[in-house]
Amino acid sequence: MTRLLFREDAYLREADATVLGHTAEGGILVDASIFYATGGGQPGDSGCLLWEGRRLPIATTLKHGAEVALVPAEPLEMPPVGGTVRQVLDWDRRHRHMRMHTALHLLSVVIPLPVTGGQIGAERGRLDFDMPEPPEDLAALDEALNALIDSDLPVTESWITDEELLANPGLVKTMSVMPPTGQGRVRLVRIGEGAGQIDLQPCGGTHVARTSEIGQVEIAKIEKKGRQNRRVSLTLLG
Ligand SMILES: [Zn+2]
């Protein structure tokens, strides 16, 4: 089983790991990962592994059962099973994912409609909403979103049991993606605190610590997707 270091501290850029094995698809299984594994609309991390004077670029990261598999970008020599590797994250890319991911939580606050899907990218991200009519005032949405960012709200987490989540279905904003249960507990991500809390939802992704770290964003476009749905795309301006 892989220890998810990215979940314990989203700001870790380097850490050691022991190689647990190689997958049939050419992935490297590690006992502890700072590389986020693709999931919840957030892409897997890239970076490189260093050991004994060797350097192996990592293109992406995937879940592999209870373990995390780092996928090499090139068919170079693999680190040996049982050996220690230094993981180095492509921090610029990951930090943009963290900024965009947190911005999408805020988007779901300024557009309080059910979310039917989403995707995070380093330049652009999107949420699909159950939104039969287009919003009347796009400039006002942009303004509200950037005001929340400027408010410098803390982003924190807590954990609840599967039973508590099932007893509070209102916590889940996504109609299509129920957060994974079955591990006994579910992670909740909270924006703001106490009376100033503006959002609380189950999420396993990586987020910035405070909303001001997102920087300015812009709603790039709103597209109609089917009869009921609209896709809202966000761009990081900085
Ligand atoms: Zn999230």
pLDDT at 164: 87
Contact, 56 vs 79, CB < 8 A? Answer: yes
**Cross-strand partners of 216:** none
Whole-number CA gyration radius for the chain: 19
Same fold, 3-89 and 94-236: no
Domain 94-236 CATH assignment equals 3.30.980.10: yes
The stretch 200-227 carries a mean pLDDT of 95
pLDDT greater than 80 at residue 120:
yes
Q: Exposed (0-12), middle (13-18) or buried (19+): which is 238, by Cβ within 10 Å?
A: exposed
- CA 72 from centroid of its chain's CA atoms: 21
Distance 56 CA to ligand 1 centre (A): 29
The stretch 215-238 carries a mean pLDDT of 94
Residue partners of 202: CB distance under 8 A and separation at least 6: 165, 171, 172, 179, 186, 187, 188, 189
Distance 225 CA to ligand 1 centre (A): 23
Could you please state the CATH topology (level 3) that the domain comprising 3-89 is classified under: Elongation Factor Tu (Ef-tu); domain 3 (2.40.30)
pLDDT greater than 70 at residue 3:
yes
Residue type at position 121: G
For residues 176 and 3, the model is more confident at: 3
Distance 108 CA to ligand 1 centre (A): 11
CA distances from 163 to 168, 172, 188 (A): 9, 14, 14
SS3 202: strand
The stretch 183-192 carries a mean pLDDT of 89
The proportion of the chain whose per-residue pLDDT surpasses 90, expressed as a percent, equals: 83
pLDDT greater than 90 at residue 21:
yes
Q: Exposed (0-12), middle (13-18) or buried (19+): which is 16, by Cβ within 10 Å?
A: middle
Distance 111 CA to ligand 1 centre (A): 16
pLDDT, tens only, 59-79? 999 999 999 999 999 999 999
Average pLDDT over all residues of the chain: 93
Distance 55 CA to ligand 1 centre (A): 31
Kindly tell me the sign of the dihedral angle through the C-alpha atoms of 25, 28, 32, 36: negative
Distance 53 CA to ligand 1 centre (A): 36
pLDDT, tens only, 125-182? 999 999 999 998 999 999 999 999 999 999 999 998 988 888 887 777 765 556 666 6
pLDDT at 94: 98
DSSP conformational letter for 135: -
Distance 42 CA to ligand 1 centre (A): 9
Strands (E), the chain: 3-4, 14-22, 28-30, 32-33, 47-51, 54-64, 67-72, 84-89, 115-119, 124-130, 155-161, 185-191, 199-202, 217-225, 229-236
- CA 22 from centroid of its chain's CA atoms: 25
Distance 54 CA to ligand 1 centre (A): 34
Distance 131 CA to ligand 1 centre (A): 21
The stretch 18-41 carries a mean pLDDT of 96
Distance 184 CA to ligand 1 centre (A): 19
Distance 228 CA to ligand 1 centre (A): 24
CA dist 62 and 37 (Å) reads: 5
Distance 206 CA to ligand 1 centre (A): 6
Domain range summary for the chain, segments of one domain joined by +: 3-89, 94-236
Distance 164 CA to ligand 1 centre (A): 19
Distance 197 CA to ligand 1 centre (A): 15
Distance 83 CA to ligand 1 centre (A): 33
